[in-house]
Structure 1
């Protein structure tokens, strides 16, 4: 049996989500399609890639090795799709503003690809909060930005969403809620809660909590995602954060599980923003075209 591109996509989605059900939601396909693809993939490579558990799918040693190869394959496919997007001869200076979360968990990979694809493009990157980015775009200090588009307020800006990252409940391994059946904000409200504050995360969180009769029992507020990760992994509380910043292991090597909630929790939307009246330069056009191609945004 030959290896297929579809199998690799489904494998990566499951590895990142930690659950077949969530991977199916993210890909808008059936769970059975993913289960079949992974089973066929394991037969093809001759190794078990996941350990199956009641509350999720965990990569085996072979699975972690294969994930590295899978990322390489997807990267090369994406590179190939970009060949005719815009001319690689684009040059000039481009000032790009981005928020903390975007710079830390989204942009580095894409900046490296942009610089390889457009070697004449001088990308100047600035880390700022959302208010400063909006003001900087309107006063022409920055050409374009990459930020959480779900937080943008100013009507003088245009925005284009690239991806929606679901928010899930983070729990330490073997937490009681992992085997408690359906879990909603009511159950979360009974747990110590670690509140992330960076990039208006606390404001966003309290907006969806306020639509329920429950409130989080906040034990700590922190601007550090790594602090949240370690505290959750060490059993000091739970958190609700996006898949984009989720990693299954803390710095201490302890497991962090993530599960979907019954109650509606908005996704974290990442995308581009620019001044509505701005005239696009070739550098801006190349930057936007790269991301539109990378995330399959239709013209």
Structure 2
């Protein structure tokens, strides 16, 4: 007996959410359906995937290993479904610039799909800070960029947002603030804070702290998301980061929990940028159309609201 695509989807959603109830909300199904799918999957695999705790579901070592395979299977199925709708003999080239966060946590899977859909589209890729990307776009060094559009304020560039990724409070397991359904920045100000600095993350954070007349009690600054993940998971402090870079486990296998924040903490917006009033080449148009199909079409509305 084989496992099903549905069981894999429910398993991954539960692993990422850490709770059956949250997975059910994301999937728009009942909790009993999620529970049954996971039980069936465990029976097929003859292994225990989760340890059930009062506060949620924690992956076993076997569950963590299987999660990596599940991601790959789901990605391959999605790619196969795309291929059935997008076959093309398009030829062209495109120079694409991206910032660190986009390159590390968003773009690789889409580059893989684009290569499968358009094997004769040559994409030249560059990772640079936002300011250098903006200059490069205006000087025609790059055709298009994928960056954190919420950081861009340049009237010479045309922007098109494609994803809005909520920012949440990251906490270690069993932290007292997990029992607070709506912690405020005042609550967080009393905690040691792990400040991410890459891609202007610190400047962005200080902008939404400033109106409160509060400051985060920064314990350490780091350009590494993995360092933030490990330090939060190990109980050294808390942080506020977007769902795009969230993973529920540190490299040491410790759990990172998240809590929703008030509206004063804005989401992180990711989008495309190109020189305003420049001619849109067929390659740029194809690149834009791909992301429209992925995130801006009605059928993709659920996908565009979260990347956890």
TM range (shorter): 0.7 to 0.9
Q: Which residue of 1 aligns with 2:99?
A: 99
Q: Deviations over 1:152-200 (max 9, x none)?
A: 2112322222222221111222323224554222221111111111111
Distance 1:94 1:275, change over 3 A: same
Q: Which residue of 2 aligns with 1:45?
A: 41
Q: Which residue of 2 aligns with 1:160?
A: 160
Q: Is the 8 A contact 2:20 2:35 kept in 1?
A: no
SS in 2 for 1:219: strand
More deviation, 6-15/207-216: 6-15
Q: How does 1:22-33 map to 2 (within 5 A)?
A: 23=23, 29=28, 33=29
Q: Which residue of 1 aligns with 2:125?
A: 125
Kindly indicate whether residue 255 of structure 2 is the aligned counterpart of residue 255 of structure 1. Answer: yes
CA distance in 2, matches of 1:274, 1:20: 42
Q: Which residue of 2 aligns with 1:201?
A: 201
Relative to total residues, which structure has the larger helix share, 1 or 2?
2
Q: How does 1:1-299 map to 2 (within 5 A)?
A: 8-19=8-19, 23=23, 29=28, 33-47=29-43, 49-60=49-60, 63-64=63-64, 67-68=67-68, 70-83=70-83, 87-180=87-180, 182-262=182-262, 264-297=264-297
CA distance in 2, matches of 1:272, 1:90: 21
Q: Is the 8 A contact 2:10 2:38 kept in 1?
A: no
SS in 2 for 1:269: strand
Alpha-carbon shift at residue 45 of structure 1 (Å): 2.7
CA distance in 1, matches of 2:7, 2:163: 21
More deviation, 254-263/197-206: 254-263
TM superposition score normalised by structure 2: 0.82
SS in 2 for 1:82: helix
CA distance in 1, matches of 2:298, 2:158: 17
Q: Is the 8 A contact 1:82 1:293 kept in 2?
A: no
Distance 1:25 1:233, change over 3 A: same
Q: Is the 8 A contact 2:157 2:273 kept in 1?
A: yes
Q: Is the 8 A contact 2:196 2:223 kept in 1?
A: yes
Q: Which residue of 1 aligns with 2:305?
A: none
Q: Is the 8 A contact 1:7 1:37 kept in 2?
A: no
Distance 1:68 1:252, change over 3 A: closer
**Matched residue pairs, number?**
295
Q: Deviations over 1:20-51 (max 9, x none)?
A: 56556766x4xxx3523312313443546544
CA distance in 2, matches of 1:20, 1:162: 28
Q: Is the 8 A contact 2:164 2:269 kept in 1?
A: yes
CA distance in 2, matches of 1:244, 1:253: 19
